[in-house]
Amino acid sequence: MDYKNYIKKLNNEFSAVNQAPVFKNKHEKYVSGYRVPSGCAVFGIINEDGQLFDGRMVIDGIAMMHDRSNGLGGGFAAYGIYPQYKNEYAFHVFYDDSIARKEAEIFLHKAFKILYADEIPTQKVKSISSPPIIARYFLRPKNISIELEGFESKNDLNDEIINRAEEEFVASFVSNFNADPGGSYIISSGKNMGIFKGVGYPEDIGEFYKLDDYSAYIWTSHGRFPTNSTGWWGGAHPFGFLNWSVVHNGEISSYGTNKRFVSGFGYKCSFSTDTEVLAYLFDLLVRKHGISLYLINYILAAPFWDDIEILPEDIKEFLKALRIIYGRALVNGPFSIVVGNNNFMYALNDRIKLRPLVAAKKGPLTFVSSEESAIRKVCTNPDAIWNPKGGEPVMVFIKGKEPAVKSGIKIKKENFIESVSSLNSSFAGALE
């Protein structure tokens, strides 16, 4: 093969892609003429003390892995950036044009009380062309109706029940809104957090959104190299749903099965990316089914049957039950993911580690990355650095926000969900 001409051809394709209009309408999308299946970069940082820091560190980290992406998508998720509206939902919305915006805002005003709205501040970046209208809303749901036996009036309802009802309302609204967007896409819908993404290299997207002006205690980021889907603004990572954000490197070969599984619970996959289904899986398992975060890896990256057979009998029976009940939530294919939520950052590899994932710690900071070089770019002397095993999660919680620990819980097949939701970290240790 004539490698010089081959590289020249690739460079020409890069130039053609990056000079084309990015987002004129929902039908105009980028397609790369070649594949690098192992491409994409993920990077995340959490300060477990909850201290805020600006976006420069995460931009520098993801920029170190520039060659893992191809300019067809980059993005960031940040937690703690809206303290003045920390109790309100923050929607980030892409609009094709002003007509789409006007039509969408009719629905927003019907469903929500909008406390403040503006366009997200951006600046011109040479490599970013034809962005959509990018608007931001701080809002709360209207007319939440809660019917529960045993409660005579709203005054009897505690905050947790009201919050859960609001979450379910917002989840349903966002899912239905994005399923029939009409040129409008809600890309971020959590509280005190936001997603900033688009078509371009991640470091350019960071400059475009002026992320140096934001301060957060958790940052995650992604550089995209699409393999099985097109590059477009809504399809860039992170993918967000309520307080969840997911960045992902790899290919989910079980996407069809996973999609059908979550659709049975009302989720609608609308963004033509396998990463979307991961966000729905976390929301379903953790928020709706109440499964301990310590056990999620035993569903998404479940041990092989042969490995389960050699475990003690009680643990073996439990893991068999997990695999049977949540078999369609098993994520097959090579992947490494970083998941953000208000109280924690979570990273996970596929069970045989076909995609890279490195973790490091320095004081209250924990880093996860596709490459060690990105971590050392922003933290030259970490206290510890390690390569998590396949299927072994990295979980870091904000201090004081760790899940409650209970002990002495027995597993009952007839009461499975309640049993799983109360399992503790010591049980997770026994599984390792």
DSSP string spanning 241-259? ETTEEEEEEE--TTHHHHH
State pLDDT tens for residues 203-241. Answer: 999 999 999 999 999 999 998 766 656 677 888 889 999
| CATH number of the domain that residue 206 is part of | 3.60.20.10
Higher pLDDT, 162 or 387: 387
Would you put residue 371 in left (φ > 0), alpha (ψ -120 to 50) or beta? beta
Any domain includes 7: no
First to last CA, the chain: 47
So what's the pLDDT on residue 61? 96
Whole-number Cα distances in Å, 18 to 22, 76, 209, 222: 8, 20, 18, 18
> How many CB atoms within 10 Å of residue 135?
19
Any domain includes 9: no
So what's the pLDDT on residue 418? 42
- Give the residue-averaged pLDDT of 359-388: 96
Res. 30 pLDDT band, cuts 50 70 90 = very low
**What whole-number distance in Å separates Cα of residue 138 and Cα of residue 417?**
34
> Length of the chain in residues, anyone?
432
Burial of residue 83 (CB within 10 Å: 0-12, 13-18, 19+) is exposed
Answer yes or no: is pLDDT of 25 > 60. Answer: no
Residue range(s) defining the domain that contains residue 155 = 36-431
b vs e for 267-281, b when ≥16 Cβ sit within 10 Å of the residue's Cβ?
Answer: bbbbbebbbbbbbbb
Any domain includes 240: yes
Would you put residue 255 in left (φ > 0), alpha (ψ -120 to 50) or beta? alpha
So what's the pLDDT on residue 92? 98
So what's the pLDDT on residue 156? 52
Mean pLDDT check: name the lowest of 108-117, 155-164, 386-395, 414-423: 414-423
Res. 425 pLDDT band, cuts 50 70 90 = very low
Answer yes or no: is pLDDT of 271 > 90. Answer: no
Helices (H) and strands (E) in the chain, counts: 13, 18
So what's the pLDDT on residue 110? 94
Any domain includes 245: yes
Res. 2 pLDDT band, cuts 50 70 90 = low
Query: Which residues belong to the active site?
Result: 40
Any domain includes 359: yes
Per cent of the chain over pLDDT 90 is 65
State pLDDT tens for residues 240-265. Answer: 999 999 998 988 899 999 999 999 99
Mean pLDDT check: name the lowest of 163-172, 222-231, 306-315, 346-355: 222-231
Answer yes or no: is pLDDT of 332 > 80. Answer: yes
Any domain includes 75: yes
The total of structural domains in the chain comes to 1
Q: What is the overall mean pLDDT for the chain?
A: 84
Any domain includes 8: no
**What whole-number distance in Å separates Cα of residue 279 and Cα of residue 347?**
13
Any domain includes 270: yes
